Amino acid sequence: MNAPTDWSEPRPVAPSARAPWTDSRFWLLQTVVLALALVRLAATVGLNLDTSNLALEVSTVVIFIIPVVIAALYYGWWGGIATVAWTTVLCVPRLAEAADHGRTAALWAEVLQLAVLAVAALLIGRRVSAETRVRDQADTARRARVQAELLYRDLFESNQSPILIVDAQGFVIESNASADHAFRLRARDADPGDGGGTDSGRSRRLVDVIGADAASLVLTHLVSDDAGTGDVGQRNVDPSGADDRVPPVPFDVSGQRVLYRPTATLVGSTATDRRMQVIFEDVTAETRRHDLMEAYAGRVVLGQEEERRHIAQELHDGPLQTLIHLCRQIDSLGANSGTPARSVDDVTVGVPPSLASLRTTVEETVAELRSIARGLRPSVLDDLGLVASLNQILSDASARQGFETSLSLGGDVARLPPAIELAVFRIAQEAITNVERHAEAGRVVVSLDFGDSGLRLRVQDDGVGFARSDRLDDGQSLGLPGMSERARLIGGRVQIRSEVGQGTSVEVWVPTSVLGSP
Within this chain, do residues 371 and 403 fall inside the same structural domain, yes or no? no
What are the tens digits of pLDDT across the range 309-341? 777 777 767 787 787 777 777 777 766 665 554
42-65 per-residue burial string, b: 16 or more CB within 10 A, e: under 16: eebeeeeeeeeeeebbebbbebbb
Q: Smallest Cα–Cα separation from 282: which of 424, 408, 178, 189?
A: 178
Within this chain, do residues 64 and 165 fall inside the same structural domain, yes or no? no
More confident residue, 58 or 88: 88
Coil, helix or strand at residue 276: strand
Tell me which H or E stretch contains 191. none
Q: What is the 3-state secondary structure (H, E, C) of 418-460?
A: HHHHHHHHHHHHHHHHHHHHHHCCCEEEEEEEECCCEEEEEEE
The yes-or-no verdict on residue 33 having pLDDT over 70 is yes
Domain that holds residue 54: 15-154
Q: Which amino acid is at 187?
A: A
Within this chain, do residues 98 and 174 fall inside the same structural domain, yes or no? no
Q: 19-28, 220-229, 230-239 — which is least confidently predicted?
A: 230-239
Cα–Cα distances in angstroms (integers) from residue 106 to residues 28, 61, 96, in the given order:
30, 13, 11
Within this chain, do residues 278 and 289 fall inside the same structural domain, yes or no? no
pLDDT at site 187: 52
Within this chain, do residues 73 and 173 fall inside the same structural domain, yes or no? no
Within this chain, do residues 37 and 144 fall inside the same structural domain, yes or no? yes
Structural domains of the chain, count:
4
Distance CA 428, CA 458 (A): 8
Specify if 51 maps to a domain. yes
Within this chain, do residues 398 and 517 fall inside the same structural domain, yes or no? yes
Q: Which amino acid is at 271?
A: A
Within this chain, do residues 135 and 33 fall inside the same structural domain, yes or no? yes
CATH number at residue 454: 3.30.565.10
In this structure, how many other beta carbons lie within 10 angstroms of the beta carbon of residue 303? 10
pLDDT at site 4: 41
Distance CA 184, CA 200 (A): 9
CATH number at residue 263: 3.30.450.20
Write the CB contacts of 77 (distance below 8 Å, at least 6 apart in sequence): 121, 122, 124, 125, 126, 128, 129
With beta carbons less than 8 A apart as the criterion, state whether 494 and 434 touch: no
Q: Smallest Cα–Cα separation from 439: which of 465, 459, 411?
A: 465
Distance CA 159, CA 283 (A): 16
Specify if 7 maps to a domain. no
Specify if 10 maps to a domain. no
Specify if 107 maps to a domain. yes
Query: Residue 198: pLDDT band by 50, 70, 90 thresholds?
Result: very low
* Domain end marker among 108, 130, 154: 154
pLDDT at site 516: 67
Within this chain, do residues 352 and 482 fall inside the same structural domain, yes or no? no
Within this chain, do residues 107 and 148 fall inside the same structural domain, yes or no? yes
What are the tens digits of pLDDT across the range 376-433? 767 777 778 888 889 888 988 888 888 899 999 988 888 888 888 888 888 888 888 8
Distance CA 62, CA 190 (A): 71
Q: What is the mean pLDDT of the chain?
A: 76
What are the tens digits of pLDDT across the range 338-358? 555 454 444 444 555 566 777
DSSP secondary structure, 362-419, as one string: HHHHHHHHHHHHHHHS-HHHHHH-HHHHHHHHHHHHHHHH--EEEEEEEE------HH
Q: pTM to 2 decimals? A: 0.49
What are the tens digits of pLDDT across the range 229-253? 444 444 433 333 444 556 777 878 7
Alpha-carbon dihedral 306, 308, 312, 318, rounded to 10 degrees: 80
Give me the residues paired with residue 494 across strands: 508
Specify if 53 maps to a domain. yes
Coil, helix or strand at residue 194: helix
Within this chain, do residues 391 and 518 fall inside the same structural domain, yes or no? yes
Handedness of CA 392, 394, 400, 402 (dihedral sign): negative
Q: Smallest Cα–Cα separation from 105: which of 64, 156, 42, 54?
A: 54
What are the tens digits of pLDDT across the range 100-146? 877 888 888 888 989 999 998 889 888 888 888 888 899 999 999 99
By CB neighbour count within 10 A (0-12 exposed, 13-18 middle, 19+ buried), where does 447 fall?
A: middle
With beta carbons less than 8 A apart as the criterion, state whether 172 and 204 touch: yes
* Domain end marker among 350, 377, 404: 377
Tally DSSP H helices, then E strands, for the chain: 18, 13
Rounded average pLDDT over 437-462:
90
Specify if 178 maps to a domain. yes
What are the tens digits of pLDDT across the range 484-516? 888 888 888 888 888 888 889 999 999 888 776
Question: Which stretches of 159-235 are DSSP H helices?
Answer: 177-183, 185-189, 206-210, 212-223
Specify if 334 maps to a domain. yes
More confident residue, 134 or 308: 134
Cα–Cα distances in angstroms (integers) from residue 143 to residues 8, 137, 146, 154, 428, in the given order:
11, 10, 5, 16, 64
With beta carbons less than 8 A apart as the criterion, state whether 16 and 129 touch: yes
Rounded average pLDDT over 46-54:
67
* Domain end marker among 251, 282, 313: 282
Within this chain, do residues 369 and 402 fall inside the same structural domain, yes or no? no
Query: Residue 8: pLDDT band by 50, 70, 90 thresholds?
Result: very low
Distance CA 389, CA 5 (A): 75
Specify if 8 maps to a domain. no
